[in-house]
């Protein structure tokens, strides 16, 4: 499965997405919270910096752009400095902002978060101040938005509606957006608002409510996966949808289509901040569905993207490279580190595509000892991915003699696989690793300091392709040979 998902993410392309929604500005005021005010029992925040980020539908636009999509924005902003800031942020990421209508009867919706820096490092939100008006827009603004929508619709591959319940998605307006898109053959994906009347989303392609939103809309209190299945069945029938994706935080998501009823679990992660997780799921769903991916695989990717996002502070984007890196990491953990040379070179293509530095070393590693551990730790510090070429039993006998190795090649590989400092192991038969080095084409070749005088095999080739050779310090008195000799001498003493 991981190979298929990696291939999908690598080939998402650059779909054009028409994104209608409530565009917000997120402001983060960071400061040191070192004391309590003498005026009231509240912390005093000594401001260190301010940060402005796209929020709400603008956060979805940033997420879409990070995933390679071209985003056409449709919504409203106020005629104020925050509106100008939001325009500038969206323009800087390459979003088309010609569909943002400036209104004078309301401010740009702004969420200002005051964040204390514990010990000057760890951010902790102390307070949020919202500036907004969430009444419905006037008829003239709705007409202008609808005209813009109709003009932009032929230019895009898919439509997203991000409803934050801030006054944009009046029932008839929302229904018109869905109807026009479906008539134009465009799929409509919706992240619904909390406590919204979901009937206005009827006829859309898919909705992505979270646990609480789906519970409110379906009347089912979702505590279990069975509850999610019941809620999804109610919503898909009631709203005439192609798919319902209920996000279930640490439990992943539940997917319901006409042919699929499936819980799609995720890897439990350390949640730092859930802000923007729903935005990320909508964006990931849009780019995958626009690329022709089926709903099941799309939700798998959404789970991963959302999981990466919640490990970040505040509204944050997730890149294609981050998703691929996560998939490769899971693939490695799900299988053995021991690869054939063909499997290895194919796997390394992904790492090289992510600009990761490949480190290569080789050896017999017959009886593992402290010197090996420190040497491999040194290797890991030289790059991102460590490839260890392990001498086969046949090769060890040629180098060390007929009484070696003590442990066979598969046992040695199994022990080495348990070390976090090693990412891949490949076994080679030749007395030296030159042919393997030429196939791997690493950025760095590491050998022990004792090879300084002997001459490092592969140095000339590595340097010819722009790589470098590094000699690692040795732990004095530690080697497999000395360890084996010591064991032999102890055995002799016992026999006496």
Q: Which residues are catalytic?
A: 279
- Describe the strand order of the beta sheet including 122-131 as a list of residue ranges: 43-56, 23-36, 110-118, 122-131
Q: Are 56 and 161 in contact (CB under 8 A)?
A: no
CB-based burial label for 119 (10 Å; 0-12, 13-18, 19+)? exposed
C-alpha 173/C-alpha 65 separation (Å) is: 26
Quick one: which H or E segment has residue 50? strand 43-56
Q: Helices marked H in 154-294 — which ranges?
A: 171-183, 211-218, 225-239, 277-290
Beta partners for residue 461, in sequence order: none
Closest CA to 425 of 410, 439, 435: 410
Q: Are 106 and 141 in contact (CB under 8 A)?
A: no
Q: What is the 8-class DSSP label of residue 31?
A: E
C-alpha 170/C-alpha 163 separation (Å) is: 10
CB-based burial label for 9 (10 Å; 0-12, 13-18, 19+)? buried
**Distance, CA of 296 to chain centre:** 18
Dihedral over alpha carbons 302, 148, 292, 240 (to 10 degrees): 80
**What are the DSSP calls for 254-307, one per residue?**
EEEESS-EEEE-------S--TTHHHHHHHHHHHHHHTT--HHHHHHHHHHHHH
């Amino acid at each position: 499965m991981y190979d298929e998902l990696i291939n999908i993410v690598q080939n998402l392309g650059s779909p054009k997405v028409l994104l209608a929604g409530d565009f917000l500005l997120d402001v983060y005021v960071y400061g040191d919270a070192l004391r309590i005010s003498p005026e009231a029992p509240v912390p005093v925040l000594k401001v260190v910096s301010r940060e402005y980020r796209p929020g709400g539908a603008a956060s979805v636009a940033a997420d879409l752009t990070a995933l390679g999509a071209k985003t056409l924005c449709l919504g409203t902003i106020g005629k104020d400095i925050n509106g100008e800031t939001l325009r500038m942020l969206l323009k800087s990421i390459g979003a088309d902002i010609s569909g943002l209508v400036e209104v004078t009867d309301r401010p740009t919706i702004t969420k200002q978060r005051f964040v204390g820096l514990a010990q000057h490092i760890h951010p902790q939100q102390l307070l949020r101040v919202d500036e907004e008006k969430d009444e419905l827009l006037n008829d003239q603004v709705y007409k202008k938005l609808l005209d813009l929508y109709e003009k932009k619709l032929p230019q895009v591959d898919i439509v997203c509606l991000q409803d934050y319940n801030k006054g944009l998605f009046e029932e008839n307006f929302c229904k018109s957006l869905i109807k026009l898109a479906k008539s134009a053959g465009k799929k409509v994906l919706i992240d619904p608002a909390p406590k919204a009347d979901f009937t206005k989303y009827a006829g859309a392609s898919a909705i992505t409510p979270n646990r609480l939103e789906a519970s409110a809309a379906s009347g089912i209190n979702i505590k279990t996966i069975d509850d999610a299945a019941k809620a999804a069945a109610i919503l898909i029938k009631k709203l005439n949808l192609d798919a319902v994706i209920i996000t279930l935080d640490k439990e992943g998501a539940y997917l319901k289509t006409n042919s699929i009823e499936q819980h799609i679990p995720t890897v439990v992660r350390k949640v730092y901040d859930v802000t923007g997780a729903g935005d990320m799921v909508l964006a990931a769903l849009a780019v995958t569905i626009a690329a022709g991916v089926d709903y099941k695989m799309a939700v798998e990717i959404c789970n991963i993207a959302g999981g990466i996002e919640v490990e970040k502070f505040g509204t944050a984007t997730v890149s294609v490279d981050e998703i691929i890196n996560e998939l490769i990491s899971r693939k490695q953990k799900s299988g053995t580190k021991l690869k054939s040379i063909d499997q290895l070179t194919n796997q390394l293509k992904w790492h090289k595509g992510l600009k990761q530095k490949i480190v290569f070393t080789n050896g017999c590693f017959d009886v593992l000892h402290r010197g090996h551990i420190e040497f491999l730790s040194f290797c890991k510090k030289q790059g991102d991915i460590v490839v260890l070429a392990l001498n086969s039993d046949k090769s060890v006998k040629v180098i060390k003699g007929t009484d070696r190795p003590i442990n066979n090649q598969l046992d040695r590989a199994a022990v080495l696989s348990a070390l976090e400092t090693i990412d891949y192991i490949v076994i080679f038969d030749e007395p030296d690793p030159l042919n393997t080095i030429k196939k791997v084409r690493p950025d760095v070749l590491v050998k022990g300091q004792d090879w300084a005088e002997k001459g490092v095999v592969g140095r000339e080739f590595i340097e010819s392709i722009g790589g470098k050779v590094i000699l690692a310090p040795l732990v004095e008195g530690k080697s497999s040979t000395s360890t084996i000799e010591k064991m032999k001498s102890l055995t002799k003493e016992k026999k006496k």
